[in-house]
Structure 1
């Protein structure tokens, strides 16, 4: 077998050229030529170092004072509600419920006499205004408001008596609501037992008194 020799005369010979002798590839000569011929690639490229920014320092975590130095909550004293009514509507209601004595309406002396002679009348000779309504009398000690009815009830037939009682009932019930809304007891004074029976038959919650003093 013949051996072919390849001599490199200059670096322009393509790198990796080989001489084939038969089926054997000879590359040793190429490697020796490359090692012997210095390659001038210029100075190595120097890359600038990446600029680093200073990391801000984290704020120190607040330290909790030791248990003995922590402020202790002030003890709460007993709760005292404010004196007197705090709601304006409640003050107004109390003001309207205060009794105001006023002269009798006049025009019916028999009616006024019966009202003045009510036992323990606090304002004889006067009516009393409570919550906008004028009542015939007030027994202040027991907080009792009176409304007097001096109709000649007995002269009418039983049918007329029942009709008359029904006609007068709504006004009597309204007076009762006004009195009780202000904390008063309400009493209706009549001159006959028949009148008392007729009113109580229509409204069992009414307090009807026969006035035996007039």
Structure 2
């Protein structure tokens, strides 16, 4: 199916988002967030609220949890509260990034199929790089990827294209030869800003908005449908 985007050919490089695309990571994230909130004397948020807060990096997730809402643009949290909460979250999440999380159906089939066709793969995620590597190791996914970049690997995060462009450069691929695969508006924006094609899955973390509204080039129900 992805060949439709490349004039009947395979892309040279497929760039994958992680949370909400390859892995349903909310169970472990929610556990860490709730432990953080309880340690600060606040009520736990619960998995469904955390599911709507994920997607913009760890710091934004913690801000949303401390504020108890998704929109934190105009909210000024006490610096000491945020710093304490963020430190607690990092500790708790660092203890378990792949214990309760699960790979989505079709992920292994997709990765094996791309590998068999000689297509280079990379991970470009807003998740901190330490947790990204721990999660990939936990699921045995690390060997599939030539490049792995996290939200703190470079000065900017998606939807800024720098992460994607850096992975393309390292893998020797142009934007015209690359496919970004994600689940959110940030992924579509990053792909558009980088000048590459974008495919999305509808099951991830897009803050309750249908991913079709972001108008990716392709939507697949499962990642193995890319093949």
Q: Same fold (TM over 0.5)?
A: no
Identify the TM-score tier after normalising by the shorter chain.
under 0.3
| TM-score of the superposed pair, with normalisation by structure 2 | 0.25
Bigger CA radius of gyration: 1
Answer 1 or 2: which has greater helix percent. 2
| TM-score of the superposed pair, with normalisation by structure 1 | 0.27
Bigger relative CO (Cα 8 Å, ≥ 6 apart) = 2
